[in-house]
């Protein structure tokens, strides 16, 4: 594989509230990614995560979606049992 695009965003996704789920996530489990899917992340919730990451890459402001800051938003998994906190950081 030869990646030709240098990513200028990185994302931190942390579990902030849990209920039993198939993935076994627990509070403080943390995932990191740039463009790729985070290793071990829930495949059902990946569509939600991808949309939020794309919003940041396009210059979006998470406060317009109910986020706590321009680069931070809490969201639920596809099943509504896990709550995540996403933090987007521009590195380029």
pLDDT digits (tens, 9 = 90+) for 59-92: 999 999 999 999 999 999 999 999 999 999 999 7
SS3 46: helix
Which of 77, 74, 87 lies closest to 25 in space, CA to CA?
77
Reported as a single tens digit per residue, the pLDDT across 18-53 is: 999 999 999 999 999 999 999 999 999 999 999 999
pTM for the full predicted model: 0.94
Distance (Å, whole) CA 87 – CA 49: 11
Cβ neighbourhood burial of 72 (10 Å; 0-12, 13-18, 19+): middle
């Amino acid at each position: 594989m030869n990646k030709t695009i240098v990513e200028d965003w990185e994302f931190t996704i942390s579990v902030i509230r849990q209920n039993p789920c198939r993935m076994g996530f627990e509070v403080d489990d943390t995932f990191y990614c740039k463009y790729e899917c985070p290793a071990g992340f829930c495949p059902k919730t990946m569509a939600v995560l991808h949309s939020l990451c794309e919003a940041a890459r396009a210059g979006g402001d998470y406060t317009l979606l109910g986020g706590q800051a321009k680069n931070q938003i809490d969201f639920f998994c596809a099943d509504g049992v896990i709550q995540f906190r996403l933090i987007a950081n521009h590195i380029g």
